Amino acid sequence: MSLFAEAFAWLADPANWEGPGGIAARLAFHVVFSLAVVVGAVVVALPLGMLVGHTGRGREAAVLVSGGLRALPTLGLLTLVALWLGVVVQAPYLALLVLAVPSVLAGAYVGIGGVDRRVVDAARGVGMTETQIVLRVETPLGMPTMIGGVRAAVLQVVATATLAAYIGAGGLGHYIFLGQKTRDYPMMLGASILIIALALVFDGVFAIVQRLVVPAGVHAVRETGLRERRRGPRAAVG
């Protein structure tokens, strides 16, 4: 039997899904833990990124912070935080939070800052306050890019949350580290397949959300521009 067949056999075995240490429980923990990390990153980074994008101040600092946090080795950071806080759930949560913040921060300030300044100036011209401009103009127009930042953070966290098991915090990574110790390669491959499938599901969901949050007016402008580009060559030939 090939390794992939053994991995799928391990996944298909109902006995492996039962109990508090089964695949179902660890999968649920992995999902909830990953989403909790992303929610924390959104709470921390989204308002800051929106402020930077709206005012244009601190953009260079935000870029440097985002790049610096992304350059940190997650496993090393996880080990350092675990030594500081102890082997508890807070340690991998804090380490993965640091990993998720840059994507959310970048998506926020790029999304808000990328809104056409003529639209913002028009909103100011009709008497909107700065808060109203952010909430009613810049946020709806920048929402697809902001969701894209959250989407990138989700993928990073779901994939990297396997390292939480390195310090005994649980999740699907438990099977990878356990399989490495016991040389149970079908278990390792099966867990890896499950993590990849989970990441693809999240990516698909956020891709749909990213499309749905595009304002109707933007859709109309894009469709009009597309029709005009299609008619241009025909008119020239005529």
Q: DSSP string spanning the chain? A: --HHHHHHHHHH-GGGG-STTSHHHHHHHHHHHHHHHHHHHHHHHHHHHHHHHHH-TTHHHHHHHHHHHHHS-HHHHHHHHHHHH-SSTHHHHHHHHHHHHHHHHHHHHHHHHTS-HHHHHHHHHTT--HHHIIIIIIHHHHHHHHHHHHHHHHHHHHHHGGGGGGGT--STHHHHHHHHHHT-HHHHHHHHHHHHHHHHHHHHHHHHHHHHTS-HHHHHHHHHHHHHHHHHHHHHH-
Give residue-wise pLDDT tens across range 175-228: 998 888 888 999 999 999 999 999 999 999 999 999 998 876 665 455 555 455
Confirm if 145 and 107 have CB atoms less than 8 A apart: yes
Tell me what pLDDT residue 169 has. 72
Tell me what pLDDT residue 235 has. 45
Tell me what pLDDT residue 166 has. 78
Tell me what pLDDT residue 21 has. 84
Backbone angles phi and psi of 74, in degrees to 5: -65, -45
Q: Structural domains in the chain?
A: 18-237 (1.10.3720.10)
Closest among 191, 203, 204 to 11, alpha carbons compared: 191
Tell me what pLDDT residue 45 has. 92
Q: Given the structure tokens 């894009």, which residue do they identify? A: 222
The Cα-based distances of 11 to 6, 8, 15, 141, 216 in angstroms read 9, 5, 9, 43, 43
Tell me what pLDDT residue 229 has. 58
Extract the residue ranges of the chain whose pLDDT is less than 50.
220, 226, 234-238
Backbone angles phi and psi of 127, in degrees to 5: 95, 15
Confirm if 99 and 160 have CB atoms less than 8 A apart: yes
Confirm if 175 and 189 have CB atoms less than 8 A apart: no
